[in-house]
């Protein structure tokens, strides 16, 4: 039986600003690295650079929505993506 493909994504929260209602950070998966800014009051996620963005954007947003109250600036997190990059 073959195992399901998966990739571990590492998230580093660089800035959490409650007054601006946004979180900034970096996410890495496989050989890819992106910066992100999540405006949680608007539900808006911006991921850069655009190269490979489609691979991470939905999974990152689900992670942020699930863990938003647990996230702290300067902390590292991991989540699993059900795809092999």
pTM of the model: 0.90
Distance (Å, rounded) from C-alpha 38 to C-alpha 30? 22
Q: What is the pLDDT of residue 61?
A: 96
The number of angstroms, rounded, from the C-alpha of 23 to the middle of its chain's C-alpha atoms is: 10
Q: Are 24 and 37 in contact (CB under 8 A)?
A: yes
Reduced to 3 states (helix: H, G, I; strand: E, B; else coil), residue 41 is coil
Q: What is the pLDDT of residue 1?
A: 65
Reported as a single tens digit per residue, the pLDDT across 2-49 is: 788 899 999 999 999 999 999 999 999 999 999 999 999 998 999 999
Grade residue 56 by pLDDT with cuts at 50, 70 and 90.
very high
Q: Which of 8, 45, 52, 48 is nearest to 23 (CA)?
A: 45
Residue ranges of domains in the chain = 10-78
Q: What is the pLDDT of residue 59?
A: 95
């Amino acid at each position: 039986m073959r195992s399901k493909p998966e990739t571990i994504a590492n998230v580093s929260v660089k800035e959490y600003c409650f007054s601006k209602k946004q979180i900034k950070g970096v996410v890495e998966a496989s050989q890819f690295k992106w910066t992100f800014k999540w405006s949680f009051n608007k539900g808006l996620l911006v991921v850069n650079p655009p190269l490979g963005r489609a691979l991470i954007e939905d999974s990152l947003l689900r992670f942020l929505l699930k863990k938003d109250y647990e996230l702290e600036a300067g902390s590292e997190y991991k989540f699993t993506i059900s795809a092999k990059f």
